[in-house]
C-alpha cells in the first residue's frame, strides 16, 4: 500500500482568465474526477466581478491572495503528489512552484496545452497567459518573486502547442524551450518519452489544459463559444483526441514517477447556460431575473 501523501486541490480561480464560467468548470471537474479518498482542500475564490487592471494585470490583488492561500494549503499538508482541478491556468503557479522546491528542481514539466502561457503584461493583461513564464523566472516582478526556485527551461516540454503570440515565441526562442505539435503524438508517445529520458529529472508534473483537445471532439473550452462555433471550426487548428491524451499520459505514468497533475480551463458552455436558465424559472429561481449568461464580465 502506497505511503505517499496525495493532495487534491480544488482551485476554481477564474480571475486570471477573467471568465467566471471557469469557477463552475472547476466544480464540475471535481464532481467528475474519481475520488480516491485523497486529502482535499478547496481554495476560496470570490465571484465578485468588481475587478480592475492593477499595474498591467487584471485582478492582481485577488490572484495574489489566492496564490497565497494555495501555498498555505500545500505547506499545511506537505504532499508528495498533488492533483489540481482548476480554474484558469494560473492555478498551476503555486503547486508547480511548491513541487519544484520540494524536489529541489528534480522535476520535468509537461505543459500539455494548445498555448505556451509564456506571455507578459505588455501584450496580455490576463495572468493565465503568463503562468509558465513566471515559473521560469520571467514576467511581472511581483509574481516572479513568489517562486522560490524557478523551473529550468531544459526541464519543460510544450506538448500539443499550436497557438502562440509573437511575444511568446520570443521567450520560447530565448529560453530554447522544446515543443511538440499535436500531430507528433497522434500515433505514439515516443517523442515525449524520448525527451523525458533525455532530461535529468526523476519526477514529472503534468499540466493539462483542456484546450489541447480537438474542438470537433470536445467543446467545453473557451474557443468553442456557441454562437461562433461553426465559423471557429473552419479556421481552427487540429488538436489532440481524448484517446491520444489518455494514451500519452498513461505511457508517461508507466515509465516515470508522476507527482503532479493539473487540469485546467474547463469552460462548460452548456452547463453555464443551463445554470442561468434554472436561476430564472418558476419555483426554483427568480422569474423577474433578466440577466443573460456572460462569458466574460469585461464585455
Domain containing residue 146: CATH number = 3.40.800.10
**Residue 264: predicted pLDDT:** 98
Which residue has cell 508528495?
80
Among the listed residues 58, 53, 54, the one whose alpha carbon sits nearest the alpha carbon of residue 14 = 58
Tell whether 13 is covered by a domain. yes
CA distance 183 to 159: 10
CA distance 56 to 130: 12
**Residue 298: predicted pLDDT:** 62
**Residue 251: predicted pLDDT:** 98
Tell whether 284 is covered by a domain. no
Tell whether 296 is covered by a domain. no
CA distance 47 to 275: 15
The series of mean pLDDT values per 10 residues for the chain, 299 residues long, is 85 95 97 92 93 94 98 97 98 98 98 98 96 98 97 98 96 98 97 96 98 96 92 91 98 98 97 96 96 75
Tens digit of pLDDT for each residue in 95-143? 999 999 999 999 999 999 999 999 999 999 999 999 999 999 999 999 9
Residue 100 domain boundaries: 6-278
Chain centre to alpha carbon of residue 126: 13
Tell whether 291 is covered by a domain. no
CA distance 163 to 269: 22
The torsion defined by the Cα of 89, 90, 92 and 93, in degrees rounded to 10, comes to: 150
Tell whether 292 is covered by a domain. no
**Residue 297: predicted pLDDT:** 66
Tell whether 294 is covered by a domain. no
CA distance 151 to 135: 6
pTM for this structure?
A: 0.96
CA distance 299 to 294: 8
How many domains is the chain partitioned into structurally? 1
For the chain, give percent helix, strand, coil, nearest 5. Answer: 40, 15, 40
Tell whether 298 is covered by a domain. no
Tens digit of pLDDT for each residue in 152-178? 999 999 999 999 999 999 999 999 999
Task: Check: CB of residue 140 under 8 Å from CB of residue 120.
Answer: yes
Tell whether 283 is covered by a domain. no
Amino acid at each position: 500500500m502506497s505511503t505517499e501523501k496525495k493532495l487534491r486541490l480544488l482551485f476554481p480561480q477564474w480571475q486570471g482568465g477573467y471568465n467566471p464560467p471557469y469557477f463552475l468548470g472547476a466544480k464540475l471537474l471535481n464532481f467528475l474526477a474519481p475520488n480516491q479518498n485523497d486529502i482535499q482542500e478547496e481554495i476560496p475564490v470570490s465571484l465578485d466581478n468588481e475587478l480592475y487592471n492593477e499595474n498591467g494585470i487584471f485582478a492582481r490583488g485577488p490572484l495574489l491572495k489566492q496564490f497565497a492561500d494555495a501555498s498555505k494549503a500545500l505547506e499545511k499538508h506537505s504532499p508528495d503528489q498533488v492533483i489540481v482541478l482548476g480554474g484558469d491556468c494560473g492555478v498551476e503557479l503555486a503547486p508547480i512552484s511548491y513541487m519544484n522546491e520540494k524536489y529541489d528542481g528534480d522535476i520535468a514539466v509537461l505543459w500539455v496545452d494548445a498555448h505556451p502561457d509564456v506571455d507578459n503584461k505588455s501584450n496580455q493583461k490576463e495572468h493565465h497567459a503568463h503562468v509558465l513564464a513566471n515559473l521560469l523566472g520571467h514576467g511581472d516582478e511581483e509574481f516572479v518573486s513568489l517562486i522560490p526556485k524557478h523551473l529550468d527551461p531544459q526541464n519543460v516540454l510544450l506538448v500539443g502547442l499550436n497557438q502562440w503570440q509573437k511575444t511568446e515565441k520570443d521567450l520560447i526562442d530565448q529560453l530554447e524551450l522544446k515543443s511538440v505539435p499535436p500531430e507528433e503524438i497522434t500515433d505514439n508517445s515516443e517523442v515525449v518519452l524520448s525527451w523525458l529520458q533525455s532530461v535529468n529529472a526523476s519526477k514529472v508534473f503534468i499540466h493539462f489544459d483542456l484546450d489541447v483537445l480537438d474542438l470537433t471532439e470536445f467543446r467545453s473550452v473557451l474557443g468553442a463559444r456557441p454562437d461562433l462555433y461553426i465559423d471557429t471550426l473552419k479556421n481552427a487548428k487540429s488538436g489532440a483526441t481524448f484517446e491520444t491524451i489518455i494514451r500519452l499520459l498513461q505511457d508517461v505514468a508507466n515509465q516515470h514517477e508522476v507527482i503532479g497533475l493539473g487540469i485546467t480551463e474547463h469552460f462548460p458552455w452548456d452547463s453555464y447556460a443551463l445554470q442561468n436558465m434554472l436561476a430564472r424559472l418558476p419555483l426554483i429561481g427568480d422569474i423577474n431575473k433578466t440577466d443573460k449568461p456572460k462569458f466574460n464580465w469585461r464585455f
